[in-house]
Chain A
């Protein structure tokens, strides 16, 4: 049982490049989330999903897109990276019954 995993762990992009962050969970959780964590700003919700095939915007969705084609995977895409998207990105999942949220180890992204 690996819990929540994220790929990659680190990435450096140039402004304008695109990339996809992958989150996978093996706990059969319905809900999945993408957060970013910045110094002094705490954790902010980017997008979330309440089930396979559904996604919704969180607090700071601009510049990001997501997809949940399979229940266990939640992808976060940056179409045209900007320096303001330099951050640590965390994925999380939550079960419907007990409502405990579990986080992945994070992806450290730098946009030059």
Chain B
């Protein structure tokens, strides 16, 4: 059964710091991995999508890597800002229970303080 784990559960850093969020999954048979951001009381915003054949994707200050063989992904945030404070979720698209579904981690709650 596919399980997704995110470490750490919470992180507090000063503004300007570079940081890494970790995501691991138990079964390498995935179609892709997607990183989302969720602000309190809001929906999920897609940040980056890495197809199973890709190793990384970049968008602005964000860089996500994927190592399918080891079941790991990292989200690197450069020069963090208070506006980056949110919960970050990773999810893998995989076959589970007879259909393709997104399987989510529990998220990392990030606080960037000035």
A27 at interface (Cβ–Cβ under 8 A)?
A: no
Please tell me the number of chain B residues within 8 Å of chain A, measured between CB atoms.
Answer: 21
A105-B104 in contact (CB<8A): no
A100 within 8 A of B: yes
Q: How far is the CB of A24 from chain B (nearest CB, A)?
A: 14
Residue count of chain A within 8 Å CB distance of chain B = 19
Nearest-CB residue, chain B, relative to A98: B49
Proximity bits, A33-71, B CB within 8 Å = 1, else 0: 000000000110100100000001011000000000000
Interface segment among B14-22, B40-48, B75-83: the answer is B40-48
Q: How far is the CA of A56 from the CA of B98 in the complex (A)?
A: 11
B42 contact from A58, A98, A100, A106, Cβ within 8 A: A106
Chain A 70-95, CB-CB to B under 8 Å as 1, else 0, gives 00000000000000000000101000
Residues of B bordering A, CB below 8 Å: 31-32, 34, 36, 41-46, 49, 51, 91, 93, 97, 99, 101-102, 104, 106-107
Closest 5 A-B residue pairs measured CB to CB?
A: A103-B44, A105-B43, A103-B43, A100-B49, A106-B43
Interface residues of A (CB under 8 A from B): 42-43, 45, 48, 56, 58-59, 90, 92, 98-106, 108
* Beyond A59-B97, A99-B32, 8 extra complex contacts between A and B, CB < 8 Å: A43-B102, A45-B101, A45-B102, A90-B44, A99-B49, A101-B34, A101-B102, A104-B43
